Amino acid sequence: MSPRLRFAPSPTGRLHVGNIRTALFNWLFAAAHGGIVLLRIDDTDLERSTKAFEQGIEDDLRWLGLPWQERANQSARFASYDAAAATLKVKGLLYPCWETEDELERKRRIAQARNRPPIYDRAALALTEDEKAAYAAEGRQPHWRFKLSGKRVEWDDLVRGRQSIDTASLSDPVLIRADGAYLYTLPSVVDDVEFKITHIVRGEDHVANTGVQVEVFEALGATAPLFGHFPLLVGADGEALSKRLGSLSADTLRAEGFEPIAILSHLAKLGTSDPVAARPDFATLAAEFDFAKVGRAPARFDPEELKRVNAAVLHAMPYEIAQPKLAALGTDLGEDFWNAVRANLVLMPDVTAYLAIVQGPLTPVIADAAFAEAALSVLPAGPYEASSWATFVDAVKAKTGAKGKALFMPLRQALTGMDHGPEMAPLFALMGEEKARARLEGKAA
């Protein structure tokens, strides 16, 4: 059976680098093994979920080049969750608990004070029918917990190898809140069963949940999928990214001018044995993908490293790919211009800094008027081509005796207004004689 994976974002915000990486690992594994990915919108939290964020998630995935093959909304599947809950109740594995949050917190504090693990004591299982009725008469609504077996759950993790969770060390998890709302676990397991998910690929913060979920799968008469838990992202300083994720959302990265393949290349290789470098396309990333390459240490996400990868993507980008991007920025001056400036770009919007060199006007920097006058006197007549720059430089060198930086820097400053930038030969050809002459005369042109 071909692998069936799922990416399950909640529509309570936009995608950020953390869940983009989760999505990417699912898509890469599916592509590498001839599988498919289900986009599952986890919108059971009806108060916080919005259609705007749901649309934003879809837009982000499309922009990144991660198309899904199947799609589902949990908000349309409550009947399935109700049926599963009823099955667990009949089996005695989903039981009502009447404690308030304050009462549960008090129990936790007492357990900790006695040096005991703060796990639920299953007091609700000892309640008589009269005691339950008395709670109901007070107006209390029960929350519902899943009764764990207390056994050790083991699985072979695609990333971490042999893993086990002692469910006796865990509290019976709440599957349904007192207000009737489903928490993550039951809907997720039901969906994985009904959509025939074969592999669950996610961050290692879900490892403890896996022990619980395996038992829920088995309680519903299903076999649990295979699991793969990879290390989470941290910042370049080793600290959690949680406080910085707003500035690392997909829509923000897009607005700043990052290329999708740069983001995918960077996130696919972080924390792996492969070098972090740009790849030409998603297919190359999929062909190289292997969970055996994923290390166990947290992967360090450095925005500056992402910029370096993005720069490499732009430096290799042919004009036919760049053209619509340049047109959208209003910076499409043709293939010669693109080839002249791309090696100096980090982000696509950086190209705007070089428009004035070709289009004008710009204010020249004349540090030595006598040098500029001498250069002007040997300026060749147009039209110019790429070889015109070398001819001009040789003439200026012969006229002034200047060499090296003393020759090239004042010419660059006068003609471009910059100390550094793209190679001068193609720029000189593009700006033409009229602008070059005016700038050597110290005029804005």
Instruction: Read off the pLDDT of residues 254-295 as tens digits, 9 standing for 90 and up.
Output: 999 999 999 999 999 999 999 999 999 999 999 999 999 999
Q: Is the per-residue pLDDT at 245 higher than 80? A: no
DSSP label of 96: E
Whole-model pTM: value is: 0.93
Specify the residue for token string 């396309």: 281
Q: Is the per-residue pLDDT at 243 higher than 60? A: no
pLDDT band at 415 (very low <50, low <70, confident <90, very high): very high
Q: Is the per-residue pLDDT at 244 higher than 80? A: no
Terminal Cα-to-Cα distance of the chain (whole angstroms):
67
Q: Is the per-residue pLDDT at 42 higher than 90? A: yes
- In order of 91, 214, 300, the CA distances from 84 in angstroms are 11, 15, 40
Q: What is the pLDDT of residues 331-351, one digit of tens each?
A: 999 999 999 999 999 999 999
Report how far residue 323's alpha carbon sits from residue 327's, in angstroms, rounded to the nearest whole number: 6
% pLDDT > 70, the chain: 99
Residue 363 region by backbone torsions, left for phi larger than 0, else alpha for psi between -120 and 50, else beta: beta
DSSP secondary structure string, 232-277?
Answer: PEEETTSSBSGGGGGGGBHHHHHHHT--HHHHHHHHHHTTBSS---
Which among 15, 58, 63 has a CA at the least distance from the CA of 39?
58
Q: Is the per-residue pLDDT at 225 higher than 70? A: yes
DSSP secondary structure string, 381-407?
Answer: PS---TTHHHHHHHHHHHHH---HHHH
The answer to whether the CB of 304 falls within 8 A of the CB of 266 is no
Query: How much is the pLDDT for 370?
Result: 96
Q: Is 227 helix (H, G, I), strand (E, B) or coil?
A: strand
Residue 320 region by backbone torsions, left for phi larger than 0, else alpha for psi between -120 and 50, else beta: alpha
Question: Positive or negative, the Cα torsion across 86, 87, 89, 93?
Answer: negative
Report how far residue 298's alpha carbon sits from residue 294's, in angstroms, rounded to the nearest whole number: 10
- In order of 21, 295, 416, 420, the CA distances from 309 in angstroms are 16, 21, 27, 21
The answer to whether the CB of 339 falls within 8 A of the CB of 426 is yes
Query: How much is the pLDDT for 238?
Result: 83
Query: How much is the pLDDT for 240?
Result: 77
Query: How much is the pLDDT for 113?
Result: 87
Burial class, 398, CB count within 10 angstroms (exposed 0-12 / middle 13-18 / buried 19+): exposed
Report how far residue 160's alpha carbon sits from residue 204's, in angstroms, rounded to the nearest whole number: 9
Report how far residue 349's alpha carbon sits from residue 345's, in angstroms, rounded to the nearest whole number: 8
- In order of 387, 396, 408, 423, the CA distances from 440 in angstroms are 19, 12, 14, 18
Report how far residue 80's alpha carbon sits from residue 18's, in angstroms, rounded to the nearest whole number: 30
Q: Is the per-residue pLDDT at 242 higher than 80? A: no
pLDDT band at 116 (very low <50, low <70, confident <90, very high): confident
Query: How much is the pLDDT for 375?
Result: 97
Domains and CATH numbers, the chain: 4-71+186-234 (3.40.50.620), 80-176 (3.90.800.10), 235-316 (1.10.1160.10), 359-440 (1.10.10.350)
**Angle, vertex CA 260, rays to CA 259 and CA 266, nearest 5:** 95
Neighbours of 85 (CB within 10 A): 19
pLDDT band at 186 (very low <50, low <70, confident <90, very high): very high
Report how far residue 82's alpha carbon sits from residue 182's, in angstroms, rounded to the nearest whole number: 9
Query: How much is the pLDDT for 331?
Result: 95
Non-local CB neighbours of 185 within 8 Å, separated by 6+ positions: 146, 173, 175, 209, 212, 213, 216
- Segment 322-329 long-range contacts (CB within 8 Å, at least 24 positions apart): 322/348, 326/351
Neighbours of 113 (CB within 10 A): 8
Neighbours of 115 (CB within 10 A): 6
Q: What crossing angle do the helices spanning 404-416 and 388-400 adopt, rounded to 10°?
A: 120
Query: How much is the pLDDT for 246?
Result: 64
Q: What is the pLDDT of residues 54-71, one digit of tens each?
A: 999 999 999 999 999 999
Q: What is the pLDDT of residues 312-321, one digit of tens each?
A: 999 999 999 9
Report how far residue 354's alpha carbon sits from residue 178's, in angstroms, rounded to the nearest whole number: 62
Mean pLDDT for the stretch of residues 402-411: 96
pLDDT band at 241 (very low <50, low <70, confident <90, very high): confident
73 or 238: which leads in pLDDT: 73
Q: Is 208 helix (H, G, I), strand (E, B) or coil?
A: helix
Neighbours of 117 (CB within 10 A): 11
